[in-house]
Amino acid sequence: MKKVLSIIAAAALLAVSCGQNNKTADTDGVKTFGVSPIDDIAFPAKGGSETINIESNVSWTATSDNDCFSVKPSSGKGNGSVVIKADAYTGATAQSGTVSLIPDEVEGPALTTVYINVSQAATSEGSHED
């Protein structure tokens, strides 16, 4: 009888520990990187700012390919947000650029760079050189 109880106890312990290992294997080591919203941003000539939320468990970098749009902070780790800002613009033609939100660890389809198109309208007065 003691032998049967020992076998049952060992089997129960093995089942519990296997179940815990499977759960750990499913959740540990999964890297994530998500951005919202990812819509294009159109600023008026007077300027403005937009906040983009990042849900992640990896380091990331934020850049703009046009100096007229600032992105702060330029990097982070884990969840956070970046602010894309455009100062007032007095040019006669609209300006545009792309903000890139880049996971620093590229591993799998969940960790892809997100590109956001940014534009700013021209002022109706414009600045003209004579």
Q: Are 66 and 91 in contact (CB under 8 A)?
A: no
pLDDT of residue 114: 93
Length of the chain: 130
Tell me what the mean pLDDT of segment 118-122 comes to: 97
Q: Where are the domains of the chain?
A: 33-120
Per-residue pLDDT at 37 exceeds 60: yes
Q: Which two tokens stand for residue 5?
A: 């109880």
pLDDT of 101 above 50: yes
Specify the fold of 33-120: Immunoglobulin-like (2.60.40)
DSSP string, 91-124: -SS-EEEEEEEEESS--STTS--EEEEEEEPPPS
Q: If pLDDT is split at 50, 70 and 90, which confidence band does 31 have?
A: confident
Structure confidence by residue, pLDDT tens digits, 10-20: 444 444 444 43
